[in-house]
């Protein structure tokens, strides 16, 4: 089973990684877990004019590496085969695109745990992915 786990470095994302590792270990035929980190660069496009595109790209890469490090450590410790994907763009859309392209069997996300009212006003990545992704999505609280 190929599992895609979205990670933003939060406690909830780390819980999702732990669950994916546990799920992988329960399966008779072990698969691979892929961690994905996506950062929306819309707010940084203006900064590119002042610091250059490479500086912004490097900055986002550093953020993604930091977001993925705890999850990679959990998977290493659990002995779960894994790799990672780093993307830039609309977070939910990039997760869905990666899930489709990689032909994953399951997408695992951590829930931020905000109130329903806040999610209604500003939306949530987990809600958008679960509503639009053609692949089964598991949301971990």
Residue 44: band (very low, low, confident or very high) from pLDDT cuts 50, 70, 90: confident
The whole-model pTM stands at: 0.88
Determine the structural domain holding residue 31 and report its residue range: 2-140
- CATH number for the domain that contains residue 134: 3.40.50.620
Secondary element (H or E) of residue 11? helix 11-26
- pLDDT above 50 for 49: yes
Query: How many domains is the chain partitioned into structurally?
Result: 1
Per DSSP (E only), the strands in the chain are 2-6, 32-39, 82-88, 106-110, 137-140
pLDDT tens-digit profile of 70-115?
Answer: 999 999 999 999 999 999 999 999 999 999 999 999 999 998 754 4
């Amino acid at each position: 089973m190929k599992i895609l786990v979205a990670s933003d470095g939060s406690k909830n994302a780390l819980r999702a990684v732990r669950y994916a590792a546990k799920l992988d270990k329960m399966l008779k035929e072990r698969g691979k877990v892929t961690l994905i980190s996506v950062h929306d660069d819309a707010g940084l496009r203006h900064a590119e004019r002042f610091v250059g595109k490479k500086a912004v790209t490097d900055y986002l890469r550093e953020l993604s590496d930091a977001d993925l490090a705890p999850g990679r450590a959990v998977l290493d410790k659990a002995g779960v085969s894994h790799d990672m994907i780093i993307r830039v763009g609309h977070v939910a859309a990039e997760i869905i695109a990666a899930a489709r392209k990689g032909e994953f069997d399951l997408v695992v996300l951590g829930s931020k745990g905000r109130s329903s009212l806040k999610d209604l006003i500003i939306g949530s990545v987990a809600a958008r992915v679960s509503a639009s992704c053609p692949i089964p999505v598991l949301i971990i609280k």
